[in-house]
Every structure is written in C-alpha cells, then in structure tokens.
Structure 1
Amino acid sequence: MRKLLNTVYVTTEGAALRKEGETLLVELDGAEKTRVPLHMLSSIVVFGAVLVTPALMAACAERGVALAFMGRNGRFQARVEGPVSGNVLLRREQYRRADTAEDIVRSIVIGKIANQRAVIRRAQRDYGSEMEPPARAALQAATDRMAQILRRVQLSDAGVDEMRGFEGEAATLYFSVFDHLIRTPDAELRWTSRSRRPPRDAMNALLSFLYTLLTHDCRAACEAVGLDPAVGFLHRDRPGRPSLALDLMEELRAPLADRLALSLVNRRQLRARDFQQMEGGAVLLGDEARRTVLTAWQERKREERLHPFLQEKAPFGLVPFLQAQLLARHLRGDIDAYPPWFWS
C-alpha cells in the first residue's frame, strides 16, 4: 500500500522555503522555523506571499513532490510539478471512455449521494432526539427522498446528463437541511445556501477552503497512478479545470470535508470571530483559524477507516489514492466496475 506521506502547509506570509541538503528548510525573518526531509513529503502548499527558491522547486520536481500556490484566502493559483509519469495506454483508454462513461458516472453519483445521506443519518443518530420536531421531520424527509434517488440511479439506464440531474437534486436536498446539522450559538455560522467565488458567509468560506484542500489531494492521486486529472467523466472538460480530480472528490466531500467543517463548528473550535468580512462581500478564514483547520485536516487524514471494497483499513488521507488506483484498474479491465467508497 502507498505510504501516507506528509503535506507541509505554510500559512505565514513572508516565510521563505529553501532546500538545504536533502531537507526542506522553512525560515521566517532569517530564523529557522522548521525542517523536513524531502523524502517524507508528498506535497507543499503555500498561502499568500511566501518565497520558494528555484533550487527547492527543482528538487521537488525531481522527487515528485507537488508544490501548490494558494491565495491568502485559500483559492488555488498555480501548481508546480515535474515530468508527467504514467502509462500512455492507460491515458488513451481514459480519453476513449470519457464520452461513454455511464457506468463510472453511476458509481460516482451513487457514492456521493450515499455518503451525503450517511452524514445526515449520523446526525439523526447522534443528536436527533434533541432537535425540534420540524427539524427531525425535515431530515427524515431528505433521507427518504435521497434513498429514492439512489434507487433510481442504481436501477435505471439513465445517461450521463440524467445522472447529473439526479446528483444535483440530491445535493439540493442535502444542503436544504444542512443548517439542522449545525449546533452553535453563533448566528453568523448558520447555513442559508451554497455560495462560492467568493463565499458570502462563514460556513461557505470554511467548506470552500476544505474543498480546495481535498481537490489538491485528489489531483495528486490521479497523477500518482498515471491518470490525466484534467479529463473527467461526471464533470465536463473545461480549460484549467481538473475534472477527474473533481470526480474523485465527489464521494469524499460529505464524509471528509463537510463532516470536518461541522465538527470544527459544533465543537466550537471555530467561532464567528474567526472569520473576516471583506469589502466586496466575501468572507474569509482568519490566519489563526486557517491554521486550526489545517491542523484538524491533517489529523482527520490520519484516521483509519475500513475500505468497503478492499476490506482493509486505510487512513482517510490514502482514500483518494486508493480510489484513483481502483479507477485505473477498471480502465485497464482488471476489475469489472469502478467501486465507489462508502462512509459509515
């Protein structure tokens, strides 16, 4: 099994990243803050104005360590990586299947809806008895309807566009009851609706930040097994968009990103004061809050779960790599179908 390597996140603007021997050296105001052996790293992610020396970039490219640049608000800006590796025959099969991928899209949509429904059902089990009757009824109605959608996806011979419609309907249901999953006294952290580019409230800012981190990991997973992250099945091709990485993350949004966001807010590790309202209406995580989220993200990725298809335990952080590997095996013809990852 692939080793779960570390990702280094640098959030302090003005920091400098250098190569010293076979290690990454992080400095601030000329003083050493930390150092990490390069062979222990899978990627480096920097936020805002952080200096990265050409020597370190070259070393990362040579060793397969991805280097991602994010804006201060966590929005993706650029990615530096070495030569593309992978089997050309696998990529040719990926391109060939991209226009006739109903079976793969069906698996992705089933995994996403099932995991969204599992998040709601977990909330029902954990604190449903404490909810007001209207909230309990809304959650039950959503899970019942999502179960019906799941059956339609599983049993129908729907095309890709129709399955995209099923996925969109389930997502609308999921986010329509998302506020009932939030348990915080801060009115500013309540949920209204999904907004992005830019996020208009605190919860959307938190979700968008976590989705960016998850996209980074899914893209790395695609590249690690030799797949082209730009050519997806559920997501249409668009210049500059890692469509396959977005496909892979759909199954993981709810159990990994959404559940973490809810935990941080419900445990009051994040409060309304941790978010900043910008002049244009965007809401961003504050610097300290961003560090809190990144620490929690790394801890969550180390948690182990049983993989339902492989029947072995693996850290959350390896799930994108395992799913990319299973997708590659399906495209090669080694397994009959792409098995989605189910959270329980």
Structure 2
Amino acid sequence: MDKEALVVDDYGVFIGKKGERVVLKKNKKIFKEVPFFKVKGILVSSSGVSLSSDVIKECAKTGIQIHLLTYTGKHLAQISSSAMTGTVKTRREQLLAYSDKRGIELAIAFAEGKIDNQIILLKYLAKYRKNKDRELYNLIYDGIAKIEKIKAELKNIKGECIDEVRELILSSEGRSAREYWKLVRMILPEEIEFKGRKTQGATDLVNSLLNYGYGILYSKVSSAILRAGLDLYGGFLHADRSGKPSLALDLVEEFRQTVVDRTIIGLLNKGVKFQIEDGRIADDDRRMLATKILNRLESKERYDGKKYRLEVILQRQARNIASYVKTGKKYIPFVSGW
C-alpha cells in the first residue's frame, strides 16, 4: 500500500492526532487527514508550525520520523523512536572502522559513487543535445573525460586510516565537482544566472532550489541510516565536527545527482518558472519542488539486477554500510542508469 510523506510548509499549521489519523489544522479547521499506517514521514519546513505530544508519541510507536527543516532546506532536527538507535554492535564496528582501512574504502566508495553519478547525469543530458547542439554535446563529453581522469586518481590512494588520506580524496571529489557544475551552467537555459555552487547563504534561484532539494533528500538519508542501526555522526569522507552528521553527508553524495540535480535541471530546462521572494523560494514553488523531489524518490532505478524505488535503494545502501563494517562484505556505491 502506498504511503505518503506529509510536507508541512505553511505558517500556523497544527499537526495533531484524531483517532488513528494525523490531522492538519489551520485556523482551527481541519484541511487534511491521513491514517497513520499511510504516513511514511512528516517534513516540516515552515516556522509557526506546532505538534501535539499525542502525534509525536504515535509517530514514535509506529516508526514515523518527523524532520524539521528551514525554508532554505537546512536540516535542523528529527524526532524518532529511541528504539531505532538500539543496535549497539553495528555502531561499535562503525566507530572502529574509522581507525582502519575500512574507513578509507568507504570514503573512496562514496566519492566514486558521487563522481560516477555526475558522469551519468551529464551523459543523460548530453544525449538530447547530440543533434540540436553538437558544440555543447562535444563540450560536455570533453568535460566528462576530465572528470573521469580525476576519478582515476582515487584508485591510487593508499593508507592505514582515513585521517591520512581524506584530503587526497576530497581534492579529487572537489575538482570533479567544479568540472561538473561548470558543465551544468552551460546546459541550463541562457536566461538563468548560475555562477556555481553555493551552499550557505545562497539567494540565487538555482542554488536555492538545490539547497532545498538536498534538505529533503538529507532527511530521507538520515532516516535510512538510523533504521540501519548506524550513527549519523560517525562518517568517513566528511570529517568529525560537533553537531555535524558526517555519515548522512557521506551517503547523500551518492544520491544528489539522481534525485535532486536531475529533477531541478529538468524542470528549469522545460521552462518551469520559480520565484525568489525576499531571498527565498516562493511558498507555492517550494511546495511544488518538494512534491517533485518526493515523486522522484518514488521512481524506480535498476539496482542489484532488479528495479526498485529510489527510496528503497537508499535504505538498502545504508544497510550495506552496516553489513560492511560488521562482516567485511564489500560496499558498492549506488550508480544510476541513464
């Protein structure tokens, strides 16, 4: 049975419980009711939203996670059942992996997955330009060749623990990303200004859309990591820092291009208009983008010889990380089709 991710992005909404249903109210009037068994998660991305303790308790009992985001997509917090963090053995092995070669292998795998998916998306975008814009098509493939050359450096990185080689991995990942975004800028419509990626404080259209989309994706990744019994803060590619969910930032790298970049580039190239108001995406446009990203997560990709929904693939990848740190079963990054 299909489940729904509830997105609440309107000021003044109350999220409560009525019988076996989640109810959304505004101005004391119910405008939406969904049975708990049909809810896969609740995403709150507006200020002025309130939740009852009853709905929080029921979500905890049924394994429904509640995520709080800013209007720009920055993930602030999540509310989940304490039972989801009860698998101590997995977390112990995860933390031990940081100090041996397992940490290096995972970090390289995350970087390779990200770069491979950048290449796949560029090839997907190039195929529609082969006949109508041969010059751009050739430029894209010249850029892909540069990215592939950078990616090859990862095969030669050796060390005893991730702290010894992280900067080498991040150097390759960063240079690949610069080539990727340079090509994305050429692919986008001429009237859309995009000077390059900017995370914190972005107010331009493209970066605002990307940051909001990544925030939604991040909430799904963090849920998958908790369900796999892993520690959000015990990453490998991303360095430790207080309050920094490094493992979530690691795993999200494999899915950015397939879930978010492809969706946003496709919408902009189709001429869909988004408005920026006071440095933020307009409310209606934000709702529409959230729906598109969540729909993309419901779409299927080939994985392990079969077709699965991307959200299922994400969960399986999180479980594969857990399997690798516990049993040594090789971790293979997710790479989409095109």
TM-score with structure 1 setting the length: 0.90
**Maintained 8 Å contact 1:22/1:37:** yes
What amino acid is aligned across from residue 106 of structure 1 in structure 2? Answer: I
Q: Where does 1:1-344 land on structure 2 (aligned, <5 Å)?
A: 5-48=3-46, 49-83=48-82, 84-100=84-100, 101-131=103-133, 133=135, 135-157=136-158, 159-183=165-189, 187=191, 189-269=192-272, 271-272=273-274, 274-276=275-277, 278=278, 283-307=279-303, 310-333=304-327, 335=329, 337-344=330-337
Paired letter, 2:183: V
5+ long unaligned stretches in structure 2? 160-164
Q: Deviations over 1:146-170 (max 9, x none)?
A: 1112222135436332111111111
Whole-angstrom distance in 1 between the partners of 2:20 and 2:225:
26
Q: Which amino acid aligns with 2:210?
A: L
Where in structure 1 are there 5+ consecutive unaligned residues? Answer: none
CA distance in structure 2 between the partners assigned to 1:294 and 1:160 by the alignment: 33
Distance 1:328 1:17 in 2: 34
Q: State the Cα deviation string for residues 37-96 of structure 1 (Å, max 9, x = none).
A: 112223211122112112111221222211122233333332222214342111000000
Identical aligned residues as a percent:
23
Contact 2:69–2:215 under 8 Å retained in 1: no
Instruction: Kindly provide the amino acid, as one letter, of the partner of residue 243 in structure 2.
Output: G
- Is contact 1:18-1:53 (8 Å) kept? yes
Structure 2: how far apart are the matches of 1:33 and 1:292?
Answer: 18
Alpha carbons 1:25, 1:32 under 8 Å: kept = yes
**How far 1:138 sits from its partner (Å)?**
3.2
CA deviations on 1:309-340 (whole Å, 9 max, x unpaired) are x22211112222011011111111162x1110
Counterpart of 2:255 in 1: which secondary structure? helix
Give the alignment's TM-score, normalised by structure 2.
Answer: 0.91
Residue 129 of structure 1: SS of its match in structure 2? coil
Post-superposition offset of 1:179: 1.0
1:73–1:284 contact (8 Å) kept in structure 2: yes
For 2:22 and 2:261, the matched residues in 1 are separated by 32
Which amino acid in 2 is paired with 1:61? A
Q: How many residues align?
A: 328
Secondary structure at the residue paired with 1:119? helix
TM-align CA RMSD = 1.8
